[in-house]
Amino acid sequence: MTTKPEAIDSLWMPKETAGFWRRARSGFGYSPAVIILAGVLLILIVPPIIFLFQTSFYTTTFAGEFDKFTFGFYTELVTNPRFFNNFVNTTVYAVGSAAFAIALGTAQAWIVERTNTPFRQYMFLVAIISLGIPHVLYTIAWLLIMGKAGPVNDILRAITGAEEAVLNVYSMWGMILIEGVGFAPLAFLLLSSVFRSTDASFEEASMMSGAGISQTFRHITARLAMPGIMALMLLIFIRAFESFEVPALVGLAGGINVLTTDIYESIHMEMPPNYGQSGAFSVVLLLWVVVLLYWYNRLSRHAERFQTITGKGYRPRQMDLGKWRYLTAGLLVLLFLLIIGLPVSIVLWASLQPYYEGVTAGSLGRFTLDNYVEVFKAGSFRDSILNTLILGTATATAVVPFTALCAWLAVRRYKGGWFLDQMATMPLIFPAIVMGVAFLQVFLNMPFALYGTLLSVVIASVVREMPYGMRYSYAGLLQIHTELEEASAVSGAGEVGTFLRIVIPLVAPAMITCWLFLFLIAVRAVSMPILLVGPNSQIVAVTLFDLWENGQVTELAAMGMAWMALMTVVSCLFYIIVRRYRLSLH
Amino acid sequence: MTNVMKRTTRLSTMFAAALAVTGVLWGSGAAYGLTEAEIANLKGPERQNILVAGARKEGKVTWYSAMIINQALRPLAAAFQKKYPFVKLDYWRGSSRKIVQKVLAEIRAKSLVADVIEGSGLAQPMVKAGAVQPFYSPSLAAYPKKYRDPKGFWAASRFSYMGLAYNTKLISPSQAPKSYQDLLDPKWKGKMAWRAGSESGALLFITNLRLTMGEAKAEAYLQKLKGQKVINFSGSARTLVNRVVEGEYPIALNIFLHHPIISAAKGAPSAAMPLEPVPSLNGTIMLPRGVKNPHAAMLLIDFVLSEEGQTVLKKANYLPAHPKVDPKSSLKPIVPRLAGLKENFVTPEILFEYRKKSKALFDKYFR
């Protein structure tokens, strides 16, 4: 930035042009960091969007190349009654499971945050450990428990004397139940913060005015928490709308299709794969999620009208439930069984059997460790566990510093910082399977070999996790006052130096939990990687899905046990750091 | 910024490494200056020597197959590995549809991983897409003509006879349905499952009826079958038979008849019931165009088609394609020519030609 070149420029250039060049050289007032980050974001996010739309407008040849332009895939959607039928299915399923998850989560959060029930503090650990269980394993565990040959039906048969299975889990209610229980820990974690930040003085006033616990809960606690609950309900509704594991494993077997399984089927059930159809479905699903997210943002903004955090000092009050606390403790134990106890037990049981035939007396004599031997042998199982650890580590390691930098530039209102924020949050509109379709097309059309490699899965996963990294970093950075950075700048440090030496150490604990959280969600994903992985880049969640389809239930169970043991270590680490630094879990 | 730069460097290093590896692998095919087509069609005594020498350099081979891992793929791989310990055999199991999707995608993305592919119902789409290389294999001389493609694109690797499996705890052998007409009995309503949309499942069921009854009668039959509320299942045939063993579904339609027999031998409550005319399919083995390890690929193909490889399949209770390798005696009741049943052999061409309309009929009546 010496003045010399400018002086020379202005000698022989018209004034405005000279200004233009000077501004161009200094990046039009944009920090070079902003320009580079924006460039990286554009390269990562724009191609999938373009390819997704292109796919939905082109027929493909036998070999899968784009052929002719057409609107046919959209007209087919609109004219096919199945599409509307499946749309209704999707909505019923998403509303049902969101409502069920919120009901479980609310009960749990209230008991843990607001009462003196024994064991309540352990529920956080339960919720966090459940984060490490892949959703696909969870779903399979419940299918083993509630399937026609499972223990639940055995018990019901014994009670009713019926000859045939009483419950058919491959149904809409089965899907809602499994998805609802699966989302309950997340609902609990998010809701517990709603309850914690609610001023308890209203409840105290209610109790002093003679209302009982249930009356207080209904008229005060629930009402105060309602805006938070509504926003959460919409959030979980969106997640369920996009979910794939339960619809694929439960719904498809029961003949109930939703939009995500329609996308999966148009690629895997047709021969040759109907990429155009998958594209059109994906675009529709994407647009619908955009609408839902818009509502969610409005709802969570309106939630501020019900401000419950005031300047008054307060402590969340714990109600003394008296004898009733044994009942609530019983409820917590029940929830523990639903969330971890039963699914893990049935998986453990199946992992010790030569073939799965339900829980019968006959199978007691058949215990074997063969499945574990198979899993720990060198080969595909071990490769897939290793690949998954690489995937999780690479994703989290790339996303955390990247989004931390983006978030810092955005929080400190650098010119163009808002753009980084918007771009890095944008992947949120992609349901995972839609992002899979989009990236599949990107990698298929690359001039060099990338499809099917672990690197390609890492790239897609980085884009997918970026919004979560952004949220974490943003929240963490907002809490840091600028005066520390100003002091650094005054002492002569540049922006990079300030970021590395002041900002990073301050947000380090938040970044570490962010890293662990991203690791946990990256390794459990199925619906995006299932379209991208090749035989040399198998990852655990997809392998479990394949094993279920191939009918290797007992080996699946052994692999699931090994994986859960590994992930429990990671989850506990996460929990310890969160507690040590008193960080928020969300 | 340092972070970003580090990340960029890391990425570009990985890119460069990936490119370098691809280059090396591409180059290896030409170890003897032979093209893939030449390697695939080597004849005479030097064939084996050239293949072994080439495979030694390649050191690995990747096989995509629809055979069930813990029944057939593992023993076959172990036997191959024993014979050629210097070639590392990796396998990936997928349905025929998934194999087609994966291999075509890999070719399009210029990152072909598969060296050999095998499955029922994948021959025609692969040939139509121009994605497979014609090949020769010495054992094929012994095979009947209809078990090989005239142009050499595929060869039969195994046989499958399709029919019904039922749970013997829930249904006694005397009660079990024995004909297509029996399936329309109201007592089976809601108790039968088939693999929706699968080549060898519901679609072959429909194709078989169209081929043997004629279009009009077949459709009339399907209309009646619609009332039986057949359950659409979306896993592999093996998984569906497992569900029958577990009692989840009492009856499975159009599964591989040898699967319930394998399970019954282990004490599971399952039995097979062929329905006349019995549709039969051949598994086909193929060599994709542009594989990275052509020598090792041909060694594997030769092995699978040889008497030695086919005997491994026989021992695994599969149905060999090699005429000199008879199936196990426990399987004879399901092999039409040995059991005196009417057979309808559905070639890969017919299976594919009939696919579209059968899929439309399936969508019309059963979705």
ipTM over 0.85: no
DSSP 8-class letter at B289: T
> Is B1 within a domain?
no
| B127 and B239 part of one domain | no
| Chains A–B, number of C-beta pairs less than 8 Å apart | 185
A501 is written with which tokens? 């030496």
B79 is written with which tokens? 């036997």
DSSP labels for B7-70? HHHHHHHHHHHHHHHHHHHHHHTTTTS--HHHHHT--STHHHHHHHHHHHHH-EEEEEE-S-II
Q: How far is CA B57 from the centre of its chain?
A: 29
C-beta atoms of B101 and A405 within 8 A: no
Top pLDDT among A327 and A229 is at A327
C-beta atoms of B111 and A546 within 8 A: no
- Residue B347 phi, psi dihedral angles, 5° rounding: -75, 160
| B69 and B216 part of one domain | no
Mutate to test the interface with B, among A550, A553, A556 (most CBs of B within 10 A): A550
C-beta atoms of B98 and A402 within 8 A: no
Top pLDDT among B248 and A313 is at B248
Q: Tell whether B151 is within 8 A of chain A (Cβ).
A: no
B200 is in which domain, residue-wise? 163-281+334-366
Question: Tens of pLDDT along B200-217?
Answer: 899 999 999 999 999 999
Range in A78-92, A359-373, A413-427, B65-79 with the lowest mean pLDDT:
A359-373
Question: Tens of pLDDT along B88-137?
Answer: 998 998 888 889 989 998 998 888 999 999 998 888 889 989 999 999 99
pLDDT above 90 coverage of chain A, percent:
33
> Is B312 within a domain?
yes
| B145 and B209 part of one domain | no
Contacts of B199 in chain A (CB under 8 A): 271
**β-pairing verdict for B155-167 and B270-273:** antiparallel
Q: What is the pLDDT of residue A512?
A: 85
Q: Nearest chain B residue to A255 by CA: give it.
A: B232
| B250 and B355 part of one domain | yes
Instruction: Name the residue ranges covered by the structural domains of chain A.
Output: 29-59+370-586, 83-368
Mean pLDDT in residue range A572-577: 85
The CATH number given to whatever domain includes residue B72 is: 3.40.190.10
Percent composition of chain A: helix, strand, coil (DSSP 3-state, to 5): 75, 0, 20
| B128 and B174 part of one domain | no
C-beta atoms of A62 and B109 within 8 A: no
DSSP 8-class letter at B287: -
Question: Tens of pLDDT along A121-171?
Answer: 888 889 888 988 899 999 999 999 998 878 898 889 888 887 777 888 989
Mean pLDDT in residue range B172-181: 94
Mean pLDDT in residue range A172-194: 89
Assigned CATH for A83-368: 1.10.3720.10
Enumerate the H helices of A63-162 as residue ranges. Answer: 72-79, 81-114, 122-131, 135-146, 151-160
| B127 and B228 part of one domain | no
Angle at B81 between CA B110 and CA A558, to 5 degrees: 85
Q: Do domains A29-59+370-586 and A83-368 have the same CATH topology?
A: yes
| Helices and strands, number each (H, E), in chain B | 14, 11
| B339 and B362 part of one domain | yes
Contacts of B109 in chain A (CB under 8 A): 443-446, 449-452
Q: Tell whether B167 is within 8 A of chain A (Cβ).
A: no
pLDDT at B251 over 70: yes
CATH class of the domain comprising A29-59+370-586? mainly alpha
Neighbouring C-beta atoms of residue A294, cutoff 10 Å: 11
C-beta atoms of B97 and A40 within 8 A: no
- Structure confidence at residue A33 as a pLDDT band (50, 70, 90): confident
C-beta atoms of B1 and A555 within 8 A: no
> Is B13 within a domain?
no
Range in A194-203, A330-339, A341-350, B157-166 with the lowest mean pLDDT:
A194-203
Angle at B233 between CA B246 and CA B182, to 5 degrees: 80
A141–chain B nearest CA distance, Å: 15
Mean pLDDT in residue range B299-327: 94
What's the rounded Cα separation, in Å, for the pair A574 and A578? 6
Contacts of B263 in chain A (CB under 8 A): 355
pLDDT at B3 over 60: no
Q: What is the pLDDT of residue A316?
A: 60
| B124 and B92 part of one domain | yes
> Is B98 within a domain?
yes
Question: Tens of pLDDT along A535-558?
Answer: 888 999 999 998 888 878 899 999
C-beta atoms of B232 and A496 within 8 A: no
Q: What is the pLDDT of residue B23?
A: 45
Nearest to A40 among B4, B19, B233 (CB): B4
Contact between A197 and A184 under an 8 Å Cβ cutoff? The reply is: no
- Crossing angle of helices A32-57 and A432-444, rounded to 10°: 90
Contact between B317 and B241 under an 8 Å Cβ cutoff? The reply is: no
Top pLDDT among A563 and B198 is at A563
> Is B56 within a domain?
yes
B contact residues 273-312, partner A, Cβ 8 Å cutoff: none
C-beta atoms of A496 and B242 within 8 A: no
Total domains present in chain B: 2
- Structure confidence at residue A317 as a pLDDT band (50, 70, 90): low
| B190 and B288 part of one domain | no
| B253 and B130 part of one domain | no
What's the rounded Cα separation, in Å, for the pair B23 and B34? 17
- Residue A530 phi, psi dihedral angles, 5° rounding: -60, -25
> Is B53 within a domain?
yes
Long-range contacts of A324-333 (CB under 8 A, 24+ apart): A324/A213, A325/A115, A325/A116, A325/A117, A325/A118, A328/A111, A328/A115, A328/A117, A329/A117, A329/A118, A329/A119, A331/A107, A331/A108, A331/A111, A332/A108, A332/A111, A332/A112, A332/A117, A332/A119, A332/A120, A332/A123, A333/A119
C-beta atoms of B98 and A268 within 8 A: yes
pLDDT at A22 over 70: no
| B200 and B293 part of one domain | no
What's the rounded Cα separation, in Å, for the pair A578 and A128? 11
Nearest to B106 among A149, A265, A451 (CB): A451
C-beta atoms of A255 and B128 within 8 A: no
Contact between A248 and A264 under an 8 Å Cβ cutoff? The reply is: yes
